[in-house]
Structure 1
Amino acid sequence: MSFASEQSEPITKKVLDHHLGAFAHGVDELLKDYDDDSAIVTPEKTFRGREEIAGFFKAFLESADPTFWPAFKITSMSTTGAIAYMAWEARPWVTLATDTLYIKDGKISVQTFTSFPT
């Protein structure tokens, strides 16, 4: 399996861009980036399938302070082939968070997420 296929890079960027913009539109829009075989891996739990992923994002969005989003700042972002990587912060709540996405067939197949709250 090659993660660095040049053919997949434009698709990876498109999915990443949609994913970032989807937060402003809620869980249903976020779920368009996943399918029933997708997984989000966190230090606490692995969320498998759209139903569990919906629960993950619903909890995240409902718990975010209203001033979280203006504080959200991407500090590093890159793509290579089917892989997207992003580091971000939202001070004072999160000093560092990272997401890595593996894109397959135009969907996020596997995403890793970790954050370091203040």
Structure 2
Amino acid sequence: MNTTTNQTLSVMNRHLHAFMTNQGAAAIADDYDEHAVLHAPDRVYRGVDEIRRFFEAFLGNLPERALEIFRMRTQEAHGEVGYIVWSVGELIPLGTDTFLVKDGKIVQQTYAAYVGAQ
């Protein structure tokens, strides 16, 4: 594995750790470049402030026990590109993110999730 791939994995792991240990939106947003762009199904979030607000809403809308039943199905990186597939039980049976990491920060991300019947 090359240095760039290792750096991408390191950023992804730090990002996921902040999420999984419930460190909050500010800690999650620390992984992003100040000019980062997050492509989500509802809109495009530009810059760390908008991305932090996205995560505040995302975390605020997670059902109780979501972190307990979160499962990583795929996590890989190739150079500057990282990819994960995850689920939160039947609540979110399929979620996926793609990351572009440069200089230790996420500069681009795509996110999509299928939310099951509530």
Q: How high is the TM-score relative to the length of structure 2?
A: 0.92
How many residues align? The count is 114
Runs of 4+ aligned structure 1 residues displaced above 4 Å come to: none
Q: Distance in 2 between matches of 1:109 and 1:29?
A: 16
Q: Which residue of the partner structure matches residue 88 of structure 2?
A: 90
Corresponding residue number in structure 2 for 1:60: 58
- Residue 32 of structure 1 deviates from its aligned partner by 1.2
Which residue in the other structure is 1:12 paired with?
8
Q: Which residue of 2 aligns with 1:74?
A: 72
Equivalent in the alignment of 1:106 = 104
**What are the equivalent positions in structure 2 for 1:17-36 lying under 5 Å apart?**
17-23=13-19, 24-36=22-34
2:115 paired residue number: 117
Unmatched tracts of structure 1, length 5 or more: none
Counterpart residue type for residue 96 of structure 2: T
Residue in 2 that maps onto 1:41: 39
Distance in 2 (alpha carbons) for counterparts of 1:28 and 1:117: 25
Give 1:65 deviation, angstroms: 1.3
Structure 1 distance, partners of 2:70, 2:3, is 31
**Distance in 1 (alpha carbons) for counterparts of 2:115 and 2:15:** 22
In structure 2, distance between residues paired with 1:33 and 1:14: 11
Structure 2 segments unaligned to the other structure (5+ residues)? none
Query: Superposition RMSD on alpha carbons, in Å?
Result: 1.2
Q: Could you tell me how far 1:6 is from its partner in structure 2?
A: 2.9
Look up the SS of the partner of 2:112 in the other structure: strand
Rounded Cα–Cα distance in structure 1 between residues aligned with 2:104 and 2:93:
30
CA distance in 2, matches of 1:44, 1:62: 16
Query: What SS does structure 1 have at the residue aligned with 2:17?
Result: helix
Task: Give 1:110's aligned amino acid.
Answer: Q
| Alpha-carbon separation, structure 1, partners of 2:101 and 2:33 | 11
